[in-house]
């Protein structure tokens, strides 16, 4: 009989690997379009477990050099409007200023949609990272237009922060305002003489309050008042006016200033945080709510902390309900202990990749009745989860596992061994599998998936990549979706894939369908 190890029908059908991951194990290279999508929706230009910030930037620029301006423009818009990213859409918009300047006016207004994004864009342009250290005529006019059309509150919000400051931006582009109030505002911002009576009302109120803090607190970003000695009642006024995101990020600050001791304030803040409409408008990542919940100190009342759990449920409204038997496989290996947004000096997130993987798994469990959770590292880790528990509770149980090497094929192999009936398998990992590396032509993940498909011919595999490295263990095809990120866009694409709405391109098709 012929050697079955050499002449195996299953092995012959397997796609041949064409890359190596960061552990040197066999993998499949994603297409340039797919790689840019992964980086755009998950990359934060900070140091991750396997790649530093410079490597990520170099990868983005190299990919942009290979791709046409239209796709870069659509990716920039998609990752800002659907992925809620900040640095990446600003970077891709800056790339367009040289790569496809005719696309810039269309994209600029959709990606550079607030003062923080404006400052990000200017910082990237003047750094020379995209090939030029000056803004250039077209970008300069677009920045001038933003400055000359922004409302007073938008300008005040933009004035919070440095490197560059809003004053730096104004000095750089020299906007020519048509309104007296805007001319006075820019002069005040630059420390030049101005006519006080021409200043807009909020700015006048701010200056008046700085001169006498016993008066009413102006409705300006609270960061502009951080140097003032505010009373507890004044801090409570600030809390009432804070945006949803600002409130989420400053609960401990409010507690430190005694705001929760004010009558009715815990209830008011809890109601605001749990409001589904406010959560949707804030474009919040679910993991940011997990971070806020964990960071809330003992002085933050229980009613407020519980409101963060309600807000998390609201933020996960787009988790799809899938037909049939669903298996969710969160990677709990050692590399998943790294911060999800990478290491950034002075402001590294306390939320790790494993926290996000656990959160997604717990959310899918909550939304889908027939769900089995199989966390894995070298092997599958047995854990008992109650679907009726809160998403926060189950996510914290999963995140406590942690450790070991990465073996993406482990849960698939166990399902094959059990001859389990499955309809959808969802794997959440950084795709850096190495424990199961072999000398087969393909990856062990693909081999085990083919075996599982023999038992479940209609099954589909979704691979959610938490951090982008350009390779995957499961090659993209009609029954396999590779998608990156940890926001609503992932759930949207997953739902469409499960419903059979995609061709072979899956996620790239979604981005290419973005209207410009």
- Tell me how far apart the alpha carbons of residues 227 and 246 are, in angstroms, rounded to a whole number: 17
- Other residues' Cβ atoms within 10 Å of the Cβ of residue 419: 11
Note the pLDDT tens digit of each residue in 344-388: 555 556 678 888 888 889 989 988 888 999 999 999 999 999 988
pLDDT of residue 29: 85
Closest CA relative to residue 21, chosen from 302, 406, 412: 406
Q: What is the DSSP letter of 376?
A: B
pLDDT of residue 50: 44
Q: Which of 69-73, 182-186, 288-292, 300-304 has the lowest mean pLDDT?
A: 288-292
Note the pLDDT tens digit of each residue in 180-209: 999 999 999 999 999 999 999 999 999 999
pLDDT of residue 5: 43
- Tell me how far apart the alpha carbons of residues 65 and 68 are, in angstroms, rounded to a whole number: 8
Q: Which fold has domain 320-512?
A: Rossmann fold (3.40.50)
pLDDT of residue 69: 95
- Tell me how far apart the alpha carbons of residues 513 and 507 are, in angstroms, rounded to a whole number: 10
Residue 28: pLDDT band with limits 50, 70, 90: confident
Q: Across-strand partners of 463?
A: 427, 482
Q: At residue 454, does pLDDT exceed 90?
A: yes
Note the pLDDT tens digit of each residue in 220-268: 988 898 777 889 999 999 999 999 999 999 999 999 999 999 999 999 9
Note the pLDDT tens digit of each residue in 398-445: 888 878 899 999 999 999 999 999 999 999 998 888 787 776 678 999
Q: At residue 16, does pLDDT exceed 90?
A: no
Per-residue pLDDT averaged across 6-15, rounded? Answer: 56
pLDDT of residue 19: 72
Highest mean pLDDT among 55-59, 86-90, 488-492 belongs to 86-90
Q: At residue 11, does pLDDT exceed 80?
A: no
Q: What is the pTM of this model?
A: 0.85
Packing angle between helix 69-81 and helix 32-42, nearest 10 degrees?
A: 30
Q: At residue 307, does pLDDT exceed 50?
A: yes
On average, the pLDDT of the chain sits at 87
Residue 51: pLDDT band with limits 50, 70, 90: low
pLDDT of residue 313: 86
Specify the pairing of strand 460-465 against strand 424-429.
Answer: parallel
Q: Where are the domains of the chain?
A: 231-315, 320-512
The residue that leads in pLDDT, 85 or 253, is 253
- Tell me how far apart the alpha carbons of residues 271 and 264 are, in angstroms, rounded to a whole number: 11
CA distances from 269 to 238, 242, 303 (A): 11, 10, 9
Q: At residue 394, does pLDDT exceed 50?
A: yes
CA distances from 237 to 35, 216, 272, 465 (A): 46, 9, 14, 42
Highest mean pLDDT among 71-85, 278-292, 467-481 belongs to 71-85
pLDDT of residue 285: 76
Structure tokens at 300: 């933050």
Q: Which of 13-27, 145-159, 201-215, 353-367 has the lowest mean pLDDT?
A: 13-27
pLDDT of residue 288: 83
- Tell me how far apart the alpha carbons of residues 305 and 296 are, in angstroms, rounded to a whole number: 7
Note the pLDDT tens digit of each residue in 467-505: 777 788 898 888 999 888 777 778 878 888 877 776 556
Question: What DSSP assignment string belongs to 255-309?
Answer: HHTTGGGSTTHHHHHHHHHH-HHHHHHHT--HHHHHHHHHH--TTS-HHHHHHHH
pLDDT of residue 345: 58
Q: Across-strand partners of 461?
A: 425, 480
């Amino acid at each position: 009989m012929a050697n079955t190890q050499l002449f195996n029908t299953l092995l012959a059908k397997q796609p041949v690997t064409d890359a190596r991951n960061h552990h040197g194990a066999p993998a499949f290279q994603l297409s340039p379009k797919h790689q840019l999508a992964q980086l755009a929706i998950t990359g934060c230009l900070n140091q991750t477990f396997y790649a530093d910030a410079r490597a990520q930037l170099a990868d983005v620029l190299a990919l942009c050099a290979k791709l046409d301006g239209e796709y870069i423009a659509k990716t920039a818009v998609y990752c800002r409007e659907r992925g809620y990213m900040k640095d990446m859409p600003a970077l891709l918009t800056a790339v367009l200023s040289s790569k496809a300047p005719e696309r810039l006016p269309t994209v600029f207004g959709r990606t550079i949609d607030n003062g923080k994004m404006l400052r990000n864009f200017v910082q990237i342009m003047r750094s020379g990272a995209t090939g030029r250290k000056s803004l250039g005529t077209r970008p300069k006019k677009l920045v001038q237009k933003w400055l000359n059309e922004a409302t007073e509150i938008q300008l005040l919000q933009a004035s919070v922060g440095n490197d560059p400051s809003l004053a730096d931006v104004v000095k750089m582009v020299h906007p020519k305002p048509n309104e007296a109030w805007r001319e006075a505002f820019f002069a005040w911002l630059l420390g030049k003489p101005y006519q006080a009576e021409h200043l807009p009302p909020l700015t006048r109120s701010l200056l008046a309050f700085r001169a006498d803090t016993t008066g009413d607190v102006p409705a300006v970003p609270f960061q502009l008042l951080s140097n003032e000695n505010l009373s507890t009642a004044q801090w409570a006024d600030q809390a009432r006016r804070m945006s949803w995101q600002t409130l989420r990020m400053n609960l401990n600050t409010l507690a430190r200033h005694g705001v929760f001791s004010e009558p009715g304030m815990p209830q008011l803040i809890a109601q605001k945080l749990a409001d589904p409409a406010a959560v949707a408008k804030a474009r919040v990542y679910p993991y940011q709510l997990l971070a806020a919940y964990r960071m809330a100190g003992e002085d933050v009342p229980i009613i407020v902390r519980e409101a963060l759990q309600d807000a998390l449920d609201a933020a996960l409204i787009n988790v799809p309900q899938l037909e049939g038997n669903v298996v969710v496989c969160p990677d709990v290996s050692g590399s998943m202990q790294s911060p999800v947004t990478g290491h950034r000096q002075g402001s590294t997130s306390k939320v790790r990749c494993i926290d996000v993987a656990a959160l997604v798994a717990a959310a899918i469990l909550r939304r889908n009745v027939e769900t089995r959770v199989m966390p894995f590292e070298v092997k599958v880790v047995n854990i008992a989860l109650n679907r009726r528990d809160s998403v926060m509770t189950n996510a914290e149980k999963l995140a406590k596992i942690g450790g070991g090497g990465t073996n993406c094929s482990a849960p698939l192999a166990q399902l094959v061994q059990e001859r389990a009936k499955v309809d959808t398998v969802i794997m959440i990992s950084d795709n850096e599998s190495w424990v199961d590396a072999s000398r087969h032509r393909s990856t062990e993940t693909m081999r085990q998936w083919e075996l599982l498909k023999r038992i479940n011919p209609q099954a589909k595999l979704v691979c959610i990549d938490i951090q982008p490295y350009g390779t995957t263990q499961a090659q993209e095809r009609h029954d396999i979706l590779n998608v990156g990120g940890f926001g609503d866009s992932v759930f949207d694409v997953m739902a469409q894939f499960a419903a059979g709405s995609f061709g072979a391109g899956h996620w790239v098709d979604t981005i290419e369908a973005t209207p410009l």
